[in-house]
Chains A and B, each alone.
Chain A
Amino acid sequence: MEFIYYFGDVFSPLSFLLLLGGTIGGLILGATPGLSPTMAVALLIPFTFHLEAVQGLILLGAAYTSTVAGGAVSAILLKIPGAPANIATTLDGHKMAKQGQGAKALQLSFLASAAGGIFGVLLLIFLTPLLAEWALAFGPSHLFWLAILGVTVIGSLDSASVVKGLLSGCIGLWLATIGFDDIMGAQRFIFHPSLGGGINIIAALIGLFAIPQVLTMFAKGRRTEGAEVIEVQKHSVLDATRELLRRPRALGIGTITGSVIGLIPGVGGQIAGLVAYDQTKKFSSEKEKFGKGHSEGVIAAEAANNAMVGPSLVPLLTLSIPGSPTAAVLLGGLLIHGIFPGSDLFDNHPDVAWTFINSMLVGQVLMCLFGLYVAGLAARVAQVPQSVMAAIVLALSVFGAYSVQSSMGDVYVMACLGIGMYFLERFGFSAAPLVLGLILGPIAEANFIQGGMIADATVGKASYFLSGGLNIFLIAVVVASVAYSAWMELRTRRYTTKEEAQA
């Protein structure tokens, strides 16, 4: 119950103001198609340099929570999911809006998001310290395998192609080695003066997540946006609350599915929403209403995608394994303030850890309260032409990358990585494992070197890294995640081929 001691810190004037700003800004950004939560959080990181670690994390956490919920606004009113996590919301949400129940759908989505989100953060509160204690038993070999696990799990589960996902992770791990070696001081892969200090994580994050979006918007050309906002008529919040309480099954399935999926590293909100929607439909007595504007579809999808936010931070805050790409960006936000996840975070910076987690709890309530009022404005923002959005994101990326350490080199690195990532994405590579490789690379290398030294003085490298219960367990999870993803990929291919053959 340590978290209660730090609850008051959330309400210090600056922290609360940042929480409020992050929540409202996140709702608006989330509603904007093309601006993913990951990109929104990455673009916000430069603004946290001038803040205390805890205040910076509050801002990032609020943006993470509310961008996921804000995505429902454009999903319901425009039929364009603000983020991949809101895909399932469009199925019934937009139909409800077309039937004149837009306000009701929005209210249900925010209420369900808050309910799911609060449950998810409570899981985060109670599971994190237990896992952090457990993490104390980890030695260098285990930490090395954990870092590799983080890259391979996201590489294999988050990508359409297992090989390309793992290759993306390898590219990220290689990028992390650029610069001067920590132990020998040797130069590694410095083929341009801008790379002398290595690749700055924040500049890389901005480039890898923002620039591909900018180029995607450019690639659409001078297209007139066809999306039309459906007008929202008034609806009583009390009635929406009653409706939510009348659908405990959808709320329960959504919340539990989202929480469980959030705990699995690499499985994002998109899957949480779709699985919850599917399960709720299976167990519903009104199956035939799904897809035609049924409130249960909205409740399940939104409860799930916000319930996964808290649990996705459990492996991040305890084992340094981000549960989602956005959590990976948050890890970057932690590291730039010199804070390392795990027992260090809870033993040496409990004020930072608990105030951040508590702020996410308060943020869920604020998100629900403001969501209902900001929804109309957010829907208007979602109509901003892509030309304006692309130019804004590009300028923010340049200023954000430069402000990291006032270096043009970081701007060049940001642009090069971003342009390269756009083309790689077009060929099936994925940014998330690449970022994970970049972030976890130094952790993997430090523990590989440290473990190697211990091994040389004791049992030898092979025995040190490949034996012992925990090492074998971690290696087994790495192998299992790759094998499972490869099997799923093969199965999908086979089905696709069969369908193609029949067509």
Chain B
Amino acid sequence: MNRSQHILGSGLVFAVGIWVAWVSYTQQPAEAFLFPRLIASVFVVLAGWTFGKAVMGLSKVGSGISRTMFLNMVPGLAVMLVYVFWAAKALGFYTATAIGFFILLSLYDPAPHSEGKTWLRRALITAVFVAVMYGLFAKLLSVYTPREILF
């Protein structure tokens, strides 16, 4: 089922290993790369072994990702990427958290979307959660997070 997935996964790790080894053995000053060279050598051998096994279809450990799992995960992962890499800084942590939290809740909450009560509950949970986070981080721990719009 997941032979091609294993090839892709272990191939990527092998590619990283080759890059690490190449950088370790070519960059200067050599003394600074003594320890990375040691690691890179073992890294490449193990990654090559893993990749070879995957190519020959001998990879047994790890069940890969099924189509259903992947499709289930994609919307959440997309929200997460937008939240972490753009919204948190552009909109401010608390605004982005409120929006991201509400979207995730709506995407994965098994309660029916057609009921008004469900949406109200989701909004209430989001508001309470963001208030707790604000109290915890802004007030108690005095962590100054980016605040672009609202708060």
Interface of A toward B, CB cutoff 8 Å? 46-47, 49-50, 159-161, 163-164, 166-167, 170-171, 173-174, 177, 181, 183-184, 186, 188-189, 214-215, 217-225, 385-388, 390-392, 394-396, 398-399, 402-403, 406, 408, 411-412, 415, 419, 423-429, 444-445, 448-449, 452, 493, 496
Instruction: Establish whether residues B108 and A221, one from each chain, have CB atoms under 8 Å apart when the complex forms.
Output: yes
Asked if B73 and A222 sit within 8 Å, CB to CB, the answer is no
A49–B6 CA distance with the chains assembled, in angstroms: 40
Tell whether A222 pairs with B84 under 8 Å between CB atoms, given A398-B93, A424-B9, A429-B62. Answer: no
Q: Is the CB of A395 within 8 A of B97?
A: yes
B115 at the interface (CB under 8 A from A): no
Across the interface, which residues of B come within 8 angstroms of A171, CB to CB?
13, 16, 43
The answer to whether B36 touches A408, judged by C-beta atoms less than 8 angstroms apart, is no
CB-defined A-B contacts under 8 Å, sample of 5: A184-B32, A394-B104, A415-B85, A423-B9, A423-B65
Min Cβ gap A157→B in Å is 14
Residues of A within 8 A of B142 (CB): 50
A214 to chain B, nearest CB (A): 7
Number of B residues near A (Cβ < 8 Å) is 69
B105: chain A residues at CB < 8 Å are 387-388, 391
Q: Which of B20, B68, B81, B97 lies in contact with A174, CB distance below 8 A?
A: B20
Give the CA-CA distance A411 to B81 in the complex, in Å: 11
- CB-CB nearest 8 A-B residue pairs: A428-B62, A218-B76, A428-B61, A387-B108, A221-B72, A186-B32, A181-B32, A161-B61
Instruction: For the complex, give the distance between the alpha carbons of A444 and B35 in Å.
Output: 9
- Is B125 among interface residues, defined by CB-CB distance under 8 A? yes
Q: Are B72 and A170 in contact (CB under 8 A)?
A: no
Main secondary structure of the interface of A (DSSP, over half): helix
Max chain A Cβ within 10 angstroms of own Cβ: one of B39, B43, B101 = B39
A171-B43, A402-B145 known; A160 vs B93 contact (CB < 8 Å) = no
B31 near A403: Cβ-Cβ < 8 Å: no
Q: What is the predominant secondary structure among interface residues of chain B facing chain A?
A: helix
Interface string of B1-45 (1 = CB under 8 A from A): 000011001100100100010010001110111111011101100
Contact check, A427 vs B85: say whether CB atoms are below 8 A apart: no
Give, as a whole number of angstroms, the nearest-CB distance from B133 to chain A.
Answer: 6
CB of A395 within 8 A of CB of B35, answer: no
Say yes or no: A394 contacts B109, CB within 8 Å. Answer: no
Q: Which of B35, B47, B70, B93 contacts A402 (CB 8 A)?
A: B93
Residue in B9, B29, B83, B104 whose CB lies within 8 Å of A398:
B83
Do A218 and B77 have beta carbons less than 8 Å apart?
yes
Contact A448 B38 (CB under 8 A): yes
A498 CB to closest chain B CB, in angstroms? 14
Min Cβ gap A94→B in Å is 23
B141→A222 contact, CB < 8 A: no
Across the interface, do A167 and B77 meet the contact criterion of CB distance under 8 Å?
Answer: no
Q: How far is the CB of B86 from chain A (nearest CB, A)?
A: 11
Most buried by B among A164, A217, A225, A425: A164
Is the CB of B46 closer than 8 A to any CB of chain A?
A: yes
Residue B120 CB within 8 A of the other chain: no
Closest residue of chain A to B5, judged by CB? Answer: A427
Given contacts A403-B141, A408-B88, whether A188 and B46 have CB atoms under 8 Å apart is no
Closest to A166 in B: B46
Q: What residues of B have a CB within 8 angstroms of the CB of A160 in the complex?
A: 61-62
In the assembly, what is the distance between CA of A222 and CA of B112, in Å?
A: 10
Tell me, in angstroms, the Cα distance from A217 to B109 when the chains sit together. 11
| Most A Cβ at <10 Å: residue of B23, B32, B34, B50 | B32
Other CB < 8 Å A-B pairs besides A174-B20, A222-B109, 7 of them? A160-B61, A160-B62, A166-B46, A167-B43, A214-B80, A387-B108, A402-B143
